[in-house]
Structure 1
């Protein structure tokens, strides 16, 4: 029998039960308590650029339609006919004013001139005869996500009408997400997708992936072979160009998010040459740096490498510049999605070089991603056994050494090598799994920056 949540997540000792990665009952509770409540990434605006465009996505194990109606408003609709449950959209994407069910012909319109609300039931064969005009069409429209947010060309949704506003859900973690979604010169929302979405299945519990990106520098040994090959875009050793010297891990205990990045700073550092195997591309990024200096002046800014928005969206902000989403299928399988980003106004040469580099790094054939997937898959499989499932994983690195961060509300910092952010992730997971409503979840009951004895860390002085 599954232990209580507080015995599965022993926060004060840094112990996480292996059962949370393989138990069927816990997985079902995740779907109702985590994925039915949290804000989830569902699409990029490039996929629904025109009125009538739609793309099929996922929220937990639910299949959804993300669509732009004829007035330009974005909706997220459950992809199932309300009559007998047939899937309406079986193509990944397209353009349609009406979604018609091939089973019995019920149709739903996205045109507000035809129905009161886009997604309402518009046509029912035999409505006046077989139904004698008695079926109330307004009561049988498509199920819609009540909370939808378009943020810097990304689309997010929540099934819970009581979920907090998206900005509050992100908190100051939003500044690090902005770093990935803004242009390299800091221009707001200056991003576009390169191609479509890479989708593939991994025999792993979904939680291993966001944990990997929330702040685990310790697993760098996994990528030694890639570092030796040298896939960085300047032609040297390693996976990326040189990174800033002041990287650390920053987490948001009351929100569940975390990032490997720099603490807020007020002066742009000297330009580090990047993408130097191509002079035209290198010059573009140098110019971006100069514009960034001018744009921010002595204002506050951040930078980052990788991070996670609780529960299942992670992103690279620098090299590569990507979004990853981890969709649960079962306790021991997930579907992983990757999209690659580049500045919308970048020259084609820049976009082409970014595409080639990103594909060598991430995705099902990416050298670095392959290392990660092997780790997650074996860790999942090794937790299935009768004896192995009864023991705990160790997450005690850096326990009790978190420090408050100036200029970021509710954030703590714990040096380059730590498991603080993983503990933050699983503590937030435990809160969701125990809570009956959002009244118990926002802004969270976990230890925040007001904990006794915590001392602010001066900007720029992380370990």
Structure 2
């Protein structure tokens, strides 16, 4: 007999999560509807479709979608499957076109407002007059549009569920930590651009292991001691330059979490030794830091190194400065994508130095990511057997010791080493899995006052 979700996830009393949720095919299919069919999902960045008629092929759960910019500059997300016989319409990673034509039977769908009333509407059907006797309702057979799409500082988010709360409510005050990754380094809002395209690779692991790793697991640093010893950081030591004191902080009612710093009002003076292998780049960041200090004054601000927005988007805010998002393939396989960010007005020497650092840190060839992939893959493989899948993963570290953060709504801090962030993630997962609609998923109030 299958266990209930409450039996599989008991993070509040016992602090455990059943291995079953990382390997079970039935639960995986349920996730696609209850989690990926309802949550706000990161689908890309406007920088991937900078010009009218540009498109970028992305995914939402296991569904392929097209992120496209129409002739008027508006962003749309369309289900990437022909409504006639299901053929995948767009098979190039990205490009530029006004019309998506199915290679199977030739149905064409347009995003051009001069040709159709809505983006993705069926425009041309071979034999429309002769074979269909002009009776086919083209407006009924257009591409499926994702009903909820929002853009936040260049990031594009979408949800299949029309009842999903507004994106800013969904993010809560986690938005402030996302801002740290998306804002200019000198404190101006926005300004992050994508450099170097998109890295894509597959991992023989359950998708949840990856955002869990990023949400606040400092305890696994033992895995990266060899990388620290090699010194891949931009100053030739460790994995990254010093960041000051780090804590784990999460938003239990949202399922998000970060490794970073509590809100503060005076900028941390720790940039003098950063990017030390390139004096020109080091000088640039020193000046940027000075501008940040002057611009922000004593305003409240936050800083972070890495975090996760439930369910599947993770990001580094500082070094490296990236967005990673995962696409489930099966219960035991995941495709991971990553884009790299830098200030759009940074000098080319700064962008090039960042690109080189990102490559040696992240992705299938990155030294840090290689460590992580080995952990995820072997943990999944070792949990698939008849006996091992009856066991539980232990998430008891720091259970019952979370402390509220007065400056942030619905946030708690958990010290440096703690598993509260992971408990928040799986608690939220359980809420989504048990709910029959968004009305049954708890959502805290959000005032957007900051």
CA contact (8 A) 1:252 1:412 kept: yes
Distance 2:241 2:338 in 1: 21
> What residue is the counterpart of 1:122 in the other structure?
123
In the alignment, the residues of structure 2 paired with residue 326 and residue 115 of structure 1 have an alpha-carbon distance, to the nearest angstrom, of: 33
Report the equivalent of 1:248: 247
Shift of 1:129: 2.2
Q: Name the counterpart of 2:302.
A: 302
In the alignment, what sits opposite 1:402? 402
Structure 2 partner of 1:111: 112
Describe the SS at the equivalent of 1:70: coil
| Structure 2 partner of 1:207 | 208
| 2:386 aligned partner | 386
Q: 1:186-216: per-residue Cα shift (whole Å, max 9, x none)? A: 1211111111111011000010000001000
Match of 1:260 in 2: 259
**Unpaired stretches in structure 2, ≥5 consecutive residues:** none
Q: CA deviation at 1:444?
A: 6.1
* Cα separation, 2, equivalents of 1:334 and 1:187: 35
What residue number does 2:358 align with? Answer: 358
* Cα deviation, residue 112, structure 1: 1.0
Q: Retained in 2: the 8 A contact 1:231–1:239?
A: yes
Q: Find the residue that maps to 1:179 and give its secondary structure.
A: helix
Report what 2:74 is aligned to: 73
The CA RMSD measured in Å over matched residues stands at 1.2
Matched ranges for 1:14-413 at <5 A: 14-236=15-237, 238-245=238-245, 247-273=246-272, 274-413=274-413
Provide the rounded CA distance (Å) in 1 between the counterparts of 2:382 and 2:305. 30
1:417 and 1:149 mapped to 2: Cα distance?
34
In 1, distance between residues paired with 2:151 and 2:419? 32
Aligned residues: 444
**Contact map agreement 1:48 1:67 (CA 8 A) in 2:** yes
Q: Distance in 2 between matches of 1:267 and 1:62?
A: 45
The offset of 1:407, in angstroms, is 1.2
Q: What is the CA distance between 1:123 and its match in structure 2? A: 1.0
Kept after mapping to 2: 8 A contact 1:164/1:442: no
Contact 2:271 2:289 in 1 (8 A): no
- Determine helix, strand or coil for the equivalent of 1:326: strand
Q: Distance in 1 between the 2:76 and 2:413 partners?
A: 37
Superposed CA offset, 1:245-284 (max 9, x none): 2x21111111100001111111112243210111110011
Partner of 1:430: 430
**What TM-score comes out, normalization by structure 2 length?**
0.97
Offset from partner CA, 1:1-25 (integer Å, 9 cap, x none): 4310000001221110000000000
How far 1:397 moved relative to its partner?
A: 0.3
Cα deviation for residue 442 of structure 1 reads 4.1
2:396 aligned counterpart, secondary structure: coil
Q: Give runs of ≥4 in structure 1 deviating > 3 Å.
A: none
2:264 alignment partner, SS class: coil
1:85-126 Cα distance to aligned partner (Å, 9 max, x none): 111111111111111111111111101111111111111122
Q: Distance in 2 between matches of 1:98 and 1:442?
A: 41
What is the distance in 1 between the residues matched to 2:195 and 2:29? 35
- Determine if contact 2:244/2:270 at 8 Å carries over to the other structure: no
| SS state at 1:80 partner | coil
Q: Is the 8 A contact 1:271 1:286 kept in 2?
A: no
Task: State the match for 2:6 in structure 1.
Answer: 6
Deviation of the 1:352 alpha carbon: 0.7
Superposed CA offset, 1:121-153 (max 9, x none): 111122222212221111111001111111111
CA contact (8 A) 2:242 2:270 kept: no
Secondary structure in structure 2 of the residue aligned to 1:223: helix
Cα displacement (A) at 1:372: 0.5
Conserved in 2, the CA contact under 8 Å of 1:201 and 1:334? yes
- Residues 312-357 of structure 1: CA distance to partner in whole angstroms, max 9, x if unpaired? 1101111111111111000000001111111110011101110111
Kept after mapping to 2: 8 A contact 1:61/1:328: yes
| Distance verdict in 2 for CA 1:442–1:116, change over 3 Å | farther
Matched position secondary structure for 1:264: strand
Q: State the shift of 1:35 in Å.
A: 0.4
Q: Which runs of 5+ in 1 are unaligned?
A: 449-463
Q: TM-score, normalised by structure 1?
A: 0.94
Question: Secondary structure at 2:83's aligned position in 1?
Answer: coil
Cα distance in 2, alignment partners of residues 354 and 383 from structure 1:
37
Counterpart-to-counterpart distance in 1, 2:227 and 2:182: 27
**Residues 431 and 444, structure 1, Cα contact 8 Å, conserved in 2:** no
